[in-house]
């Protein structure tokens, strides 16, 4: 094309600012994210900032102008950004990009986050590492969906330094009323999120109004120009006055030293400091700070402050591991089992109530169960869903309750931001992120100062202990079913264990025979063992002939006294069928008189009168019988409060 239209474009000549003097090393570097609705002018603003700060390679403008002219297009500042990123040519659009520029007062890196809705993950990736944000809004269009969504995420990500740029003021005749209306509306919206922009600045990125200095087109505006507002921001300072939080990354034993390597997230650490590691609470003292090279200037034995990688040795041989957090005794992080959080979800598959999801907080890794979704929020309107929801969909924001299987050490409520936020995984990918609002008193474990209560164990395991008592003749199928049941329970995350006659008779009850007294003693031992294991959180599958009603009633009574869920399962098969099967050739031996007092032959079997479940192994498949018993086992093991929370353990 060679349409040589007379160009009406304000042709950029020399940059209007004095050529920027490079910044000194001492000046802190600011990471800046530019967010806002698509087409509200992010690229133009970035291009213009590059141009006005003289941050463009020699000849680039001229080349782009020539190219635009040749194409019959008006030169646009957005070309600068586009060209810089070669996006037009290569079609690599819509990802986080970083563009450096500097003013005489400081260096900036712009993290460009695209405005298209489905690329929210890139915006979060960019904005999560920013120190400050420009939220751009089109004066003519006003607030749009992504204006609100991005504003919401900025607040969730904890960004405090926000400047709102009301762009395209030229299109509304630089009208103060438009600016005031948009500023008020956006200010109110962000205010509800607890975010307060530092400045609202009217600009026209295209015309260069209000970017680097006051514009004569905006005489009514008395605040700083955009760049002046940005220069006032600070690189996110390490939190001051906070106690030490040392995230342990690894333990190295490359030589005689046992080095604890990690990151000082907050506070500071010096040789000689007492230090306590959480979760767990093991205590020692910092012996040395390890430096390489050992003699370099500025290295020593501390203090090493927040934001620094560090390597220490301890005075005691403690078992410290990755994920623990070193802290001063007396001012340690909270060990949380259950907490509320605000999360955003990025994965296409929704996050569902009851789901067990891998969680990472700092260097800690664990598994969390989504116990409840208090509400999901529509980020664009801040309207909450009506009542609790059952899933969080992609790009939704929600308030949820999580229960972690093992306690995690954290600092909630923004006290130490890096230890109050976590990511959730789906497969290998980060699928969402969140901020812990409050650590809840673990209801199921609250009765106990004693850590080893059944409730505490239930919280840990995600289920409680129980006893499933399977009674039936020898050869009725107890062992087959018990084995299959155990496997199925273990697969679904339920800690299960079999207690059977053979195991007792060859071990614990080796000294007992088969007289009624000895049978009773054997059963007493089996009962004690089963109840003890159930107390410890295990779902015990007791597969025992246990022929007498009175004995079984005694077991049930003891379980009831101790508050342990108990159920009786009658594994029913006719004697003739059992004798036909005779898997251990016991009937044969009993008939031959080699085994005295064998149940069914010369000792009675008293069938249960009201079993919780009865299976007929002579006419049901193993699968059919198993399903009935498994359903029973799961309902027994379900913790009382977990009406929604433990749906994940369905078989």
Please say which residue, 107 or 370, places its beta carbon nearer to other proteins.
107
| Encoded tokens for 339 | 């907490």
- The whole-angstrom distance between residue 24's C-alpha and the CA centroid of its chain comes to 39
Residue 100 binds to other proteins (criterion: CB under 8 A) = yes
The dihedral region occupied by 490, where left means phi > 0, alpha psi between -120 and 50, and beta the remainder, is alpha
User: d(Cα 131, Cα 98) in Å, to the nearest integer?
Assistant: 14
Residue 322 binds to other proteins (criterion: CB under 8 A) = yes
User: d(Cα 211, Cα 197) in Å, to the nearest integer?
Assistant: 17
Stretch that binds other proteins, among 172-180, 210-218, 420-428, 493-501 (CB under 8 A): 420-428
Stretch that binds other proteins, among 416-424, 440-448, 459-467, 572-580 (CB under 8 A): 416-424
Stretch that binds other proteins, among 170-178, 368-376, 421-429, 637-645 (CB under 8 A): 421-429
Question: Which of 131-145 are b and which e, b meaning 16 or more Cβ less than 10 Å from the residue's Cβ?
Answer: bbbbbbbbbeebbbe
Check the CA dihedral 578-584-589-595 and report its sign: negative
Q: How far is CA 118 from CA 40, 94, 138, 143, 348, in A?
A: 17, 10, 21, 19, 10
Least separation in angstroms between residue 435's CB and other proteins is 10
Residue 373 binds to other proteins (criterion: CB under 8 A) = no
Contact with other proteins (CB under 8 A): which of 9, 232, 249, 483?
249
Please say which residue, 32 or 259, places its beta carbon nearer to other proteins.
259
Contact with other proteins (CB under 8 A): which of 62, 71, 250, 528?
250
Least separation in angstroms between residue 563's CB and other proteins is 41
Residue 528 binds to other proteins (criterion: CB under 8 A) = no
Residue 301 binds to other proteins (criterion: CB under 8 A) = no
Residue 125 binds to other proteins (criterion: CB under 8 A) = yes
Active site residue 546: yes
Contact with other proteins (CB under 8 A): which of 429, 549, 580, 584?
429
Strand ranges (DSSP E) for 491-630? 496-500, 539-543, 566-572, 613-616
Cβ-count burial of 412 within 10 angstroms (0-12 exposed, 13-18 middle, 19+ buried)? buried
| Encoded tokens for 482 | 């018990």
The count of chain residues that interact with other proteins, using the rule CB under 8 A, is 61
- The whole-angstrom distance between residue 320's C-alpha and the CA centroid of its chain comes to 23
3-state secondary structure at position 461:
helix
Please say which residue, 150 or 421, places its beta carbon nearer to other proteins.
421
| Encoded tokens for 109 | 């890196």
User: d(Cα 180, Cα 184) in Å, to the nearest integer?
Assistant: 6
Residue 92 binds to other proteins (criterion: CB under 8 A) = yes
Check the CA dihedral 366-390-649-622 and report its sign: negative
The helix, strand and coil proportions of the chain, stated in percent and rounded to the nearest 5, come to 30, 30, 45
- For residue 279, is the peptide bond before it cis, meaning its omega torsion is within 30 degrees of 0? yes
Count of CB atoms situated within 10 Å of the CB of 328: 15
Element (H, E) at 466: strand 466-471
Least separation in angstroms between residue 343's CB and other proteins is 13
| Encoded tokens for 355 | 């789901």
Residue 307 binds to other proteins (criterion: CB under 8 A) = yes
- The whole-angstrom distance between residue 110's C-alpha and the CA centroid of its chain comes to 28
Least separation in angstroms between residue 345's CB and other proteins is 11
Please say which residue, 92 or 184, places its beta carbon nearer to other proteins.
92
Residue 25 binds to other proteins (criterion: CB under 8 A) = yes
Q: Which residue has the tokens 């939220």?
A: 135
Residue 287 binds to other proteins (criterion: CB under 8 A) = no
Residue 257 binds to other proteins (criterion: CB under 8 A) = yes
Residue 321 binds to other proteins (criterion: CB under 8 A) = no
Contact with other proteins (CB under 8 A): which of 292, 450, 610, 623?
292
Please say which residue, 57 or 557, places its beta carbon nearer to other proteins.
57
The C-alpha angle 142, 145, 148, rounded to 5 degrees, equals 80
Residue 122 binds to other proteins (criterion: CB under 8 A) = yes
Contact with other proteins (CB under 8 A): which of 39, 74, 95, 618?
95
Please say which residue, 259 or 523, places its beta carbon nearer to other proteins.
259
Residue 293 binds to other proteins (criterion: CB under 8 A) = yes
Residue 426 binds to other proteins (criterion: CB under 8 A) = no
* Three-state SS letters, 183-228: HHHHHHHHHHCCCCCCEEEECECCCCECCCCCCCCCCCCCCCCHHH
Least separation in angstroms between residue 107's CB and other proteins is 8
Residue 113 binds to other proteins (criterion: CB under 8 A) = no
Residue 364 binds to other proteins (criterion: CB under 8 A) = no
Least separation in angstroms between residue 471's CB and other proteins is 47
Q: Which residues, numbered 445-504, are part of the site for other proteins (CB under 8 A)?
A: none
Binding mask 206-245 for other proteins (x = CB under 8 A): -----------------------------x--x-------
Q: Which residues, numbered 35-74, are part of the site for other proteins (CB under 8 A)?
A: 57-58
Choice among 247, 474, 546, 625 that is catalytic: 546
Residue 128 binds to other proteins (criterion: CB under 8 A) = yes
Residue 18 binds to other proteins (criterion: CB under 8 A) = no
The dihedral region occupied by 528, where left means phi > 0, alpha psi between -120 and 50, and beta the remainder, is alpha
- Asked whether the beta carbons of 5 and 104 are under 8 A apart, the reply is no
Count of CB atoms situated within 10 Å of the CB of 417: 16
- Asked whether the beta carbons of 445 and 337 are under 8 A apart, the reply is yes
3-state secondary structure at position 345:
strand
How would you classify the pairing of strands 29-36 and 107-112? parallel
Stretch that binds other proteins, among 124-132, 400-408, 503-511, 642-650 (CB under 8 A): 124-132
Contact with other proteins (CB under 8 A): which of 183, 215, 324, 418?
418
Q: Which residues, numbered 574-603, are part of the site for other proteins (CB under 8 A)?
A: none
Q: Which residues, numbered 173-202, are part of the site for other proteins (CB under 8 A)?
A: none
Stretch that binds other proteins, among 202-210, 292-300, 447-455, 522-530 (CB under 8 A): 292-300
Q: Could you tell me which of 277, 373, 376, 377 has the C-alpha nearest to residue 318?
A: 277
Least separation in angstroms between residue 309's CB and other proteins is 4
Q: What are the residue numbers of the active site?
A: 546
Q: Could you list the residues that contact other proteins (CB under 8 A)?
A: 22, 25-26, 28-29, 57-58, 84-86, 89-90, 92, 94-100, 109, 121-122, 124-125, 128-129, 235, 238, 249-250, 252, 254-255, 257, 259, 261, 263, 290, 292-294, 296, 305-309, 311, 322, 346, 360, 362-363, 418, 421, 423, 428-430, 433
């Amino acid at each position: 094309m060679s349409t040589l239209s007379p160009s009406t474009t304000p042709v950029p000549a020399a940059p209007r600012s004095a050529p920027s003097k490079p910044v000194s090393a001492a000046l802190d570097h600011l990471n800046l994210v530019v967010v806002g609705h698509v087409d509200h002018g992010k690229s133009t603003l970035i291009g213009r900032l590059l141009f006005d700060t003289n941050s463009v390679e020699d000849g680039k403008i001229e080349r782009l102008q020539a190219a635009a002219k040749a194409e019959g297009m008006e030169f646009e500042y957005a070309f600068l950004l586009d060209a810089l990123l070669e996006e037009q040519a290569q079609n690599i659009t819509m990802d986080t990009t970083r563009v450096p520029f500097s003013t005489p007062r400081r260096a900036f890196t712009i993290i460009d986050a695209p405005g298209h809705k489905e690329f929210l993950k890139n915006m979060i990736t960019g904005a999560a590492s920013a120190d400050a944000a420009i939220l751009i809004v089109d004066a003519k269009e006003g607030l749009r969906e992504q204006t609100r969504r991005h504003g919401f995420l900025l607040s969730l990500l904890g960004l405090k330094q926000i400047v709102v740029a009301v762009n395209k003021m030229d299109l509304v005749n630089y009208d103060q009323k438009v600016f005031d209306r948009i500023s008020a509306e956006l200010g109110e919206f962000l205010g509800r999120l607890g975010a307060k922009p530092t400045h609202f600045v009217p600009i026209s990125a295209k015309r260069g109004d209000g970017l680097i200095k006051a514009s004569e087109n905006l005489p009514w505006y008395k605040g700083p120009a955009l760049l002046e507002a940005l220069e006032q921001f600070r690189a996110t300072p390490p939190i001051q006055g906070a106690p030490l939080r040392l995230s342990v990354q690894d333990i190295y034993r490359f030589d005689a030293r046992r080095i604890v390597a990690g990151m000082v997230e907050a506070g500071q650490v010096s040789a000689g400091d007492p230090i306590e590691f959480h979760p767990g609470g093991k205590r020692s003292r910092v012996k040395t700070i390890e430096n390489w090279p050992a003699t370099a200037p500025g290295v020593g034995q501390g203090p090493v402050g927040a934001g620094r990688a560090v390597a220490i040795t301890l005075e005691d041989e403690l078992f410290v591991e990755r994920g623990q957090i070193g802290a001063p005794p007396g001012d340690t992080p909270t060990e949380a089992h259950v907490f509320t959080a605000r999360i955003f979800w990025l994965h296409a598959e929704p996050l569902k109530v009851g789901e067990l999801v891998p969680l990472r907080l700092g260097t800690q890794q664990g598994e969390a169960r989504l116990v409840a979704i208090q509400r999901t929020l529509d980020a664009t309107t801040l309207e909450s869903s009506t009542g609790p929801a059952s899933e969080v969909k992609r790009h939704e924001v929600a308030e949820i309750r999580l229960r972690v299987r093992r306690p995690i050490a954290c600092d909630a409520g923004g006290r130490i931001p890096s230890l109050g936020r976590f990511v959730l995984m789906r497969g290998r990918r980060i699928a969402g992120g969140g901020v812990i609002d409050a650590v809840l008193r673990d209801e199921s474990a609250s009765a106990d100062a004693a850590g080893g209560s059944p409730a505490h164990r239930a919280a840990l395991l995600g289920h409680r202990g129980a006893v499933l008592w399977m009674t039936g003749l020898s050869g009725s199928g107890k062992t087959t079913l018990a084995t299959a049941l155990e496997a199925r329970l273990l697969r679904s995350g339920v800690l299960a264990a079999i207690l059977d006659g053979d195991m007792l008779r060859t071990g614990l009850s080796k000294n007992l025979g088969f007289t009624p007294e000895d049978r009773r003693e054997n059963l007493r031992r089996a009962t004690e063992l089963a109840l003890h294991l159930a107390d410890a959180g295990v779902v015990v599958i007791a597969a025992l002939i246990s022929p007498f009603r009175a004995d079984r009633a005694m077991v049930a009574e003891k379980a009831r006294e101790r508050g342990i869920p108990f159920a009786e399962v009658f594994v029913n098969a006719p004697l003739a069928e059992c004798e036909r099967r005779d898997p251990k050739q016991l009937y044969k031996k009993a008939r031959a008189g080699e085994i005295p007092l064998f149940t069914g032959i010369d000792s009675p079997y008293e069938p249960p009168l009201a079993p919780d479940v009865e299976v007929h192994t002579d006419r049901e498949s193993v699968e059919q019988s198993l399903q009935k018993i498994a359903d029973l086992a799961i309902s027994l093991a379900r913790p009382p409060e977990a009406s929604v929370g433990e749906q994940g353990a369905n078989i």
